Amino acid sequence: MNEMTRPMLHLMKKIEVVVQAADIKLVETVLRDAGIAGWTMIRDVAGMGHHGFHQGRTIFSDESGLVMFVGVAPADHIRNAADNLRDLFHTRAGVLFMSDVEVIRSDYFVAA
Amino acid sequence: MTQVSKIVAADNGTAHASPSSLALKVELAARTVAPLWPLESAIAVNPLSGFEDMPFEQALGDAARLFGTRAGLDLRLWRRLSAMGRPTREAVRQESIRDLGGLERAFEMVGPDITLVDCLMARLYDLPIADALAHDGDPSAERVAEWCAAYFAKGVAAIPLGAQAPGLFAAALPLLKASFSNPLVKSVPETPMAAVRWALYRLAIEPADQQRFLRSTVARMPGWAGHIRWRDEQADDDRRQERPSGMADLIALILISDLAVGARPVEAIDKRVDVRRQLAAHFQIAADRFSPAVRDLCERDDAGLALIFQQAAEREFATPLAKSIAAKAKTAIADEASPDAQLLFCIDVRSEPMRRALEAQGAYQTVGYAGFFGLPIAVREPGSPRTRRLPVLVGPQHELALAPVRGAEEDARDYLAARDRDRSLRALFNRLKSGLATGFSTAETVGGGAGLWMALQTFAPGLSARLRRGMGGDPQALAPAIDRHAGGSGLTAGERLSYARAMFALTGMKATARLVVLLGHAGETVNNPYASALDCGACAGHGGAANARAMAAILNDRDTRAALGIAADTHFVAGEHNTTTDDVRLFDLQFLPETHSGDLERLQQSLAAAGEAVRTERARKLGRTEQDLRRGAAHWGEVRPEWGLTGNAAFIVGPRRLTRSIDLDGRAFLHDYDWRIDGQGEALATILTAPMVVAQWINCQYLFSTIDNDRYGAGDKTVHNPVAGIGVVRGNGGDLAVGLPRQTLFHDDGTPAHVPQRLTTIVYAPIKRVETLVEQQAVLRRLFGNGWVRLIVIDPQTGQVRRWADDRELNEDAA
């Protein structure tokens, strides 16, 4: 594949957020409000944290356990989301990561 | 902004690139109130659920300031309770000494022959008590409540609001503009979030204060705000889309109403009395003879004093209970012998007296499990919307059709026909009643009949109940189909097996008897908007029969039995315990083989005898005769058909043999658990994160509804008016009531029947396992660490008893 036919790549930012399942709605509000068009949500994630190992959800409670959001959008939208999540983390437990990514269809990641 | 001020702002961290999300602030503000379920499925919630991330004691004070409520039960009521020994004066004295920091400090002399603990006891028991402040009216909230009622009470409100409008705010906006002459309201933006932003700007609320301000705004209407939360987060989609709304709608309406009439005055009246002078009068000395050491004690508020009573009650209840369970753990032998029958009851506190009474009737083994039997289902009656039959912590995974039971097809047809007839009559009546031309003639036409019916319900409630049942048919002629049926998904072989396995794994029970009965429960009452509060909380405020029948069907299923290795002569039967009359009805007995008719007959005799014993016990507590309990279940003027879960105080996780010989007085949720078969602690994690959380909600609802029945509770039942099945208002308007009515919690003379105390959870499992679990589950760290639930662990291997202390470690001191 030469340079002419290689698909054009666009620089975007990715945000990954791990929060308690009880706070799903709060994170969705932040992402939507920051203009992020869509995201992936992975339920029942587990892992090591400040409080030791966090288990996945228990069978009779959707609110136990952790979830992970993955969103991709233009850098300013992701920064807005991160700023607001920082406010959220004053009172709620969670972590967030941001990183640079490249995508093929840039229009796909911009809110209509 | 000049360059210099920019730098200063950046240093202060205020030169934030993006304005903080108003949508997030509104969403966080919404969490100030608990969701409020509609009447048909009223379930208990902690009205202070939004405060569980702070210590219990602090939450009491913060919430009291925000909601304008009491932070503790009125000291006069605590004195009355303590005079009855609940808690005893001695327990309060011990708690006072502990509260003062131990013996040395408590017995410090602060006056002639007067110790510090004497002064504290005088404050607790003897000094005059100032009256609580009267609540000021909130005209904005009252006005917005009217609009909410008109908007949400679709089909019932005489003047429905917003037939076409896309939300509460849009629907109320024209009314709002018409209500005020203030020119300001003409420029209100059209969308709720923009209107909130606009109002915050007009009210000059600084960004840093906005979160607190929005929380206090939502707290002005906990009822309708709670209803909006329920719609937003819990309701099925069809219900949500029917009347769209969000918290921004409500906040915008309140704030704009405030703006239109001028900002709401905030006043704090300091009615502090001179406690030192009161103490001096009590001890008959001059006020100046007290040493300065008495000052801290004088400055305590009534809420702090009430907490001493509460903690004394908690300790006096929990310590001996934990000790006797620990003693039983050493001596009680495992019930390995094959019992006459095994019965699984809901963990509900009302099951405990029934279990105790039944066990006294013969070799019956009773087991406690969440009353939805672990089935995450919704059920759908033909021609009706689905109803959820599972704890609200979890969403329904399956929708089962309610189908006619084999052998009861005719009864099912009669029931459905009667239901449809009743529906169309009601619809017609509502149309005629509100029609301009038909209103008066309707009253004349149906008035005579209605009067007769009222007379019948008053003077012959038993007869009216029989007539109603005769005319209405039997809804139990329909049962959930676990096979695919009429739109219902049914349950696959794999699903059946996994739900059956979960039941045995969580309870540690083995099906060994010839009869195994799964008992749901339901209350029975008429003309009672709070009827569903007497039903099963694990079944989302419905009777538990459907879940019990579905689970029995699963366990009688050939393939499931084969996979589980259930003996051929073991049969499962579903039933429902009526908690108002203590009758037990068993279902689908036509499927039981002839060989088991003798077992069934003996069991039914025992159930009848046990029911009678429990009725006697309950009648005494209600101060009535047994016969009167039956009458109350059918009487339309009955305000207290039963005590519900009043008195609830403990959640015990362990085998029944540890509690079997203890009279728990209907105050304990009992969940069976066998630590030996739960190596990874998964079953215990499930029990503590789901059934225990539901029990904690119930406990907190009873606790706070008692502490301040006017604000956290629903107040006096006799002035309740239901609003379209959504909730009740008091008199003819105002906010929706939250919590429980006065009659559920208080005796007629005003003495609390429910002693406000936090839930004590007692777990029989290795201490290390419990510690690990609490570390792994955020909800447990929050509830135990912040003191919302008291945790006591009894270690089966070492016999140690430990209490979860405030320092978040299991303390050696169990007392």
Residues of chain B with Cβ-Cβ distance to A93 below 8 Å are 778
pLDDT over 90 (residue B137): no
Q: Least CA distance to A77: which residue of chain B?
A: B18
* Least CB–CB distance from A84: residue in B20, B393, B693: B20
Round to whole Å and give the CA distance between B576 and B57.
39
Contact assignment for A84 to B21 by CB distance below 8 Å:
yes
For B480, phi and psi rounded to 5 degrees?
-65, 135
Hey, what amino acid is at B628? D
pLDDT score recorded for residue B136: 74
pLDDT digit string, tens, across residues A62-89: 888 899 999 999 999 999 999 999 989 9
Residues of chain B with Cβ-Cβ distance to A52 below 8 Å are 772, 775-776
* Residues 5-34 (A) with a CB less than 8 A from some CB of B: 20, 22, 25-26, 29-30, 32-34
Residues of chain A with Cβ-Cβ distance to B394 below 8 Å are 60-62
Confidence of residue B333 (pLDDT cuts 50, 70, 90): confident
- Which residue do the tokens 């009534």 mark? B302
pLDDT score recorded for residue B322: 95
Contact assignment for A60 to B24 by CB distance below 8 Å:
no
- E-assigned strand segments in B607-709: 650-653, 668-671
pLDDT digit string, tens, across residues B270-316: 556 789 999 999 999 999 999 999 999 999 999 999 999 999 999 99
pLDDT score recorded for residue B164: 61
Q: Least CA distance to B51: which residue of chain A?
A: A91
- Which residue do the tokens 């005079």 mark? B83
Residues 6+ apart with CB under 8 A from B716: B730, B741, B742, B743
| Alpha-carbon distance A80 to nearest alpha carbon in chain B (angstroms) | 6
pLDDT over 80 (residue B440): no
pLDDT over 50 (residue B179): yes
* Least CB–CB distance from B779: residue in A34, A64, A80: A64
CB B746 within 8 A of CB B753: yes
Confidence of residue B457 (pLDDT cuts 50, 70, 90): confident
CA atoms within 13 A on the CB side of A24: 16
pLDDT over 60 (residue B9): no
Residues of chain B with Cβ-Cβ distance to A91 below 8 Å are 28, 53
* Least CB–CB distance from B776: residue in A32, A53, A59: A53
Round to whole Å and give the CA distance between B554 and B573.
11
pLDDT score recorded for residue B467: 75
- Compute the average pLDDT of residues B747-760: 97
pLDDT digit string, tens, across residues B230-254: 999 999 888 888 889 999 999 999 9
Look at residues B251, B242, B256 and name the one whose alpha carbon lies nearest to residue B224.
Answer: B251
| Alpha-carbon distance B373 to nearest alpha carbon in chain A (angstroms) | 11
Q: Which ipTM was obtained for this model?
A: 0.89
pLDDT over 70 (residue B226): yes
Look at residues B317, B325, B328, B86 and name the one whose alpha carbon lies nearest to residue B815.
Answer: B317
Look at residues B787, B784, B757, B760 and name the one whose alpha carbon lies nearest to residue B650.
Answer: B760
Contact assignment for B53 to A34 by CB distance below 8 Å:
no
- E-assigned strand segments in B440-514: 478-480
Residue B131, both tokens: 């009256």
| A&B contacts, CB < 8 Å | 94
Cβ burial, residue A90 (10 Å; 0-12/13-18/19+): exposed
CB B287 within 8 A of CB B276: yes
SS3 of residue B719 by DSSP: helix
Query: How far apart, in Å, are the Cα atoms of B642 and each of B13, B176, B527?
Result: 58, 44, 14
pLDDT score recorded for residue A107: 84
pLDDT score recorded for residue B6: 35
pLDDT score recorded for residue B11: 35
pLDDT digit string, tens, across residues B28-50: 999 999 999 999 888 999 999 99
CA atoms within 13 A on the CB side of B638: 25
pLDDT score recorded for residue B542: 95
Q: How many other CB atoms sit within 10 Å of the CB of residue B514?
A: 20
- Sign (positive or negative) of CA dihedral B215, B267, B742, B724: negative
* Residues 75-94 (A) with a CB less than 8 A from some CB of B: 79-80, 83-84, 87-88, 91, 93
Q: Which residues pair with B112 in a beta bridge?
A: none
Long-range contacts of residues B414-418, Cβ cutoff 8 Å, at least 24 apart: B414/B473, B414/B474, B414/B477, B415/B472, B415/B473, B415/B474, B415/B475, B415/B477, B415/B478, B416/B381, B416/B382, B416/B383, B416/B473, B416/B478, B417/B473, B418/B471, B418/B472, B418/B473
The chain-wide mean pLDDT, for chain B, equals 90
For B41, phi and psi rounded to 5 degrees?
-140, 45
pLDDT score recorded for residue B442: 74
Q: Least CA distance to B233: which residue of chain A?
A: A25
SS3 of residue B639 by DSSP: coil
- E-assigned strand segments in B437-581: 478-480, 515-522, 571-578
Round to whole Å and give the CA distance between B105 and B99.
10
Look at residues B743, B720, B713, B749 and name the one whose alpha carbon lies nearest to residue B527.
Answer: B720
- Which residue do the tokens 């396992």 mark? B769
CB B640 within 8 A of CB B744: yes
Confidence of residue B331 (pLDDT cuts 50, 70, 90): confident
Picking from B394, B671, B697 by the largest number of A CB atoms within 10 A of its own CB, the best residue to mutate is: B394
pLDDT over 50 (residue B778): yes
Long-range contacts of residues B451-456, Cβ cutoff 8 Å, at least 24 apart: B454/B636
| Higher per-residue pLDDT: B551 or B487 | B551
| Alpha-carbon distance B775 to nearest alpha carbon in chain A (angstroms) | 6
pLDDT over 50 (residue B261): yes
Look at residues B686, B211, B47, B689 and name the one whose alpha carbon lies nearest to residue A26.
Answer: B211
Look at residues B398, B399, B390 and name the one whose alpha carbon lies nearest to residue B690.
Answer: B390
- Compute the average pLDDT of residues B119-124: 97
CB B553 within 8 A of CB B499: no
CB A42 within 8 A of CB A67: yes
Q: Does B397 touch chain A (CB under 8 A)?
A: no
pLDDT score recorded for residue B815: 42
| Alpha-carbon distance B644 to nearest alpha carbon in chain A (angstroms) | 24
pLDDT score recorded for residue B557: 97
**How large a percentage of chain B has pLDDT more than 70?**
92
CA angle B585, B591, B593 (to 5 degrees): 110
Round to whole Å and give the CA distance between B520 and B577.
6
* Least CB–CB distance from A25: residue in B27, B370, B391: B27
CB B560 within 8 A of CB B606: no
Round to whole Å and give the CA distance between B38 and B268.
34
DSSP structure class, residue B488: B
pLDDT over 50 (residue A93): yes
pLDDT score recorded for residue B13: 36
Contact assignment for A62 to B395 by CB distance below 8 Å:
yes
Confidence of residue B64 (pLDDT cuts 50, 70, 90): very high
For B375, phi and psi rounded to 5 degrees?
-100, 110
* Least CB–CB distance from A93: residue in B22, B24, B778: B778
Round to whole Å and give the CA distance between B207 and B223.
27
* Least CB–CB distance from B685: residue in A34, A55, A91: A55
- E-assigned strand segments in B356-411: 364-369, 377-380, 387-388, 398-404
Confidence of residue B229 (pLDDT cuts 50, 70, 90): very high
Which alpha helices (H) appear in B68-115, and where do they start and end? 75-83, 89-100, 103-106
CB B675 within 8 A of CB B684: yes
pLDDT digit string, tens, across residues A13-36: 999 999 999 999 999 999 999 999
